[in-house]
Amino acid sequence: MKMIHKIKKPNNLKALGVETVVFVLLFGLLGTLLLFEQKGYRAVTNTSESTLIDEDRWYEVKNENAGAVAANAPECLVLRSAGERYSRRLSENIVYTLNSLNVNVSVKDFYIAAEPDPDDPVQKNRQFSIRGTDDPTVENTEAEKTADESAADVNDAATKDSADAAEQPTVPEKTVIPEIDYQSYDEIAVCFSDISVMEQDIEKLGAWLNGGGHLIFAGGLDEKTDLAKWSDILGTEPEQEAAPVLADSLRFNTDLLAGTNDREFSDDVISGEVLEVAVRKDCTVHISTAEETPVPLLWERKSEKGQVFVCNADLMEAKNDRGIIAAVHCRFYPVYAYPVINASVYCIDDCPSPIPAGYEKNVVAQYGYTVGDFYANVWMPSMQRIADEYGIKYSTFAVQTYDNNTSGEFGNTDNRESAAYYASLILNMGGEVGIHGYNHQPLVLEGYKFDKENEGYTAWPNVMSMLESVKSVIKYTEGLTDDLYVEAYVAPSNVLSNEALTEMISQIENLRIYAGVYTGTADQLVQEYKVLSNGVVYCPRLTADMQMEDSEWWTQLNELNYHYIESNFIHPDDILDEQRSDGGDFDQMLSGYRQMIEWNRSMGLRDTTISECGAAVQRYCNLNYTQNIDGDTMTLKLDGLIDTAYMMVRTNGKKIVSVDGGEVSECSDNVYILEAKSPEITIKTVEKNESLFDS
């Protein structure tokens, strides 16, 4: 058994009697000793499909066509308003999502001579995301196109300011309507609200739809539209006069997304004007406002051989709406499959790190402990109990010191003893320890302008000092205990300059995982899940804190249905932060954390460390596929399968009865997770009201 360092226990806790203190300390110490005696100290062990592929091996297995769309894929036309920034962002998000679902997508521009009204609250909501992120999808996806070699998708503030200025829409003097050959497309997505500009094509569009077309009105509805003319396509009642009303809540009425279960969301997710429309009885309203008299927000309707979705709200524009886009697309087909990651990652930033000295009011009020004693006797044992109860493992990220030194020597080791203790505990639970910076100063050069939230940090004089500090914290962390190998990096406050990232990828071979955030501000490292050509992986985190707000649950729900992943991060000192602790009650914080973990496990997500997640992202990114449906049989042919990969299979009115070449598990009604083990997979289905023996 490996010896580990032990933290000195408190000897004077005012909130507890002496006898209680002695009992608690002895019991806690005995429990810790028993834990190590029973489990034994061990390093993280990976199965083959959970192992990162090294650079040479990645070049061997990398599918040069990975991400390319198959020749037999559906053809989708995206219509956007070139002069409206919201429309461009919405269209970019739909294009990105559908491309990843193996759809051939092309774009046509409408030039609409209607200047947006800056006082119109609907236009305001459509100019900027309303779900807790200032991240314009269009800029991120454009950056991703060149990020593979240069790592240029780092969101540098100055760069984004320039991009925003370049993205300002130019309103044309007159409306220009493109010529559209509707019969060339299986699917059309309309990404603007003023569909009156398409009135000249109503008959052609209706004929295409009734003949089997798949139509999505993704940009909301405009009160200027003559709904009576469009009622047969939209499914709205023809005699009504629809007026704008405020929507500040929503409810899922169906199982369109796995994991909804009639879930409601507050104005943290939606807050803006929509049209108070009435829809026909043959419409299925998937999402409505959560009111006594609900307003339809997303509905579906069959139209002879075709099918139409109408979105009456801003529900497809942001990155964290992609689950809805994927689910809507899949509703057009009896069975549809697409690759997913399949991972749940539980990150703890600033662990191990120097522990604040002395007392803090929230900790004293609840436990009578110093902060250090709270960490040792409450926080860490709580994390251990949760790990044991749910079988999860943590990915933690070390900080060597909290000084503001950005030049000179980077050798502070004052915290080594307690850091070694906590690192050993994390590894013993099957977890992983990465790095969060030498001293939590973001790696940006002098002259960088931080946003208001990050004011007070110290910038660095040159890239060389940045690299030396990173090398120092890697050496320090790997020296805390045997069998500790650092592979993952989380930037302090999720801020990282392009200069630092480029040099780190080039010169620091240890770091294979860079974990930024999936959505965020211009200051932050906003990423897609992707792999660079040398095998380095981007694994952004989705949510933060133990008690997540509605906007974070919305992100988690959508990413479950798109990438099939959750990645959350917390901190040991969350209780010390009024915003992160939501009032400071640690029992409530733990309850919220358990709720998230229980939800993840109920959805069937695999528990992984950050590096195991990186391995899953490599396999996800390497996979290319075709799918063919013949009656009740779907055939998948996979190109780029390394060993094991995962796919989400959505069915409509069908259930899977057998699989050859893999295994399936049911995530929720109509949603299955396929573990692919062979380059060719056959899936047989039957109608839900039909048994296998009747087919």
In the block, tokens 């899977």 appear at: 656
Structure tokens at 36: 């190590």
pLDDT-derived band at 50, boundaries 50, 70, 90: confident
Position 61 scores a pLDDT of 87
Q: Is residue 133 over pLDDT 50?
A: no
pLDDT at position 140: 37
What do you get for the CA distance between the two ends of the chain, in Å? 59
In angstroms, the CA 340 to CA 418 distance is: 39
Q: Which of 64-68, 235-239, 348-352 has the highest mean pLDDT?
A: 348-352
Give which of 215, 223, 257 is closest to 240, Cα–Cα.
Answer: 223
Q: Is 6 helix (H, G, I), strand (E, B) or coil?
A: coil
Contact 634, 682 (CB under 8 A): yes
**Does residue 428 contact residue 42 with C-beta atoms inside 8 Å?**
yes
pLDDT at 695: 39
E runs forming strands in 146-247:
187-190, 214-217, 244-247
Handedness of CA 316, 115, 230, 103 (dihedral sign): negative
Amino acid identity of 413?
Answer: T
pLDDT the model gives residue 170: 59
What residue has token string 């006594």?
292
Is the Cβ–Cβ distance between 544 and 588 less than 8 Å? Answer: no
Q: In this model, does residue 224 exceed pLDDT 80?
A: yes
Q: Which two tokens stand for residue 659?
A: 């699989």
* C-alpha–C-alpha distance, residues 562 and 99, integer Å: 12
Supply the pLDDT for residue 452.
Answer: 85
- What's the whole-model pTM score? 0.87
Question: 684: which strand partners?
Answer: 633, 658
Is residue 27's pLDDT more than 60? no
Query: Tokens 């798949």 appear where?
Result: 214
pLDDT at 174: 67
Say if CB 242 and CB 277 are below 8 A apart: yes
CA 359 to chain centre: 36
As a three-state string, the secondary structure of 373-436 is HHHHHHHHHHHHHHHHHHCCCEEEEECCCCCCCCCCCCCCCCCHHHHHHHHHHHHHCCCEEEEC
Gap between the Cα atoms of 196 and 194, Å rounded: 5
CA gap 5, 419 in Å, rounded: 9
Give the chain's radius of gyration (CA, Å): 27
pLDDT tier at 162 (50, 70, 90 boundaries)? very low
Q: What domains can be seen in the chain, in order of their start residue?
A: 18-41+343-616 (3.20.20.370), 75-340 (3.40.50.880), 623-694 (2.60.40)
- For 541-586, how does the pLDDT look when each residue is reduced to its tens digit (9 = 90+)? 999 999 999 999 999 999 999 999 999 999 999 999 888 887 779 9
The model's confidence at residue 126, banded by pLDDT at 50, 70 and 90, is very low
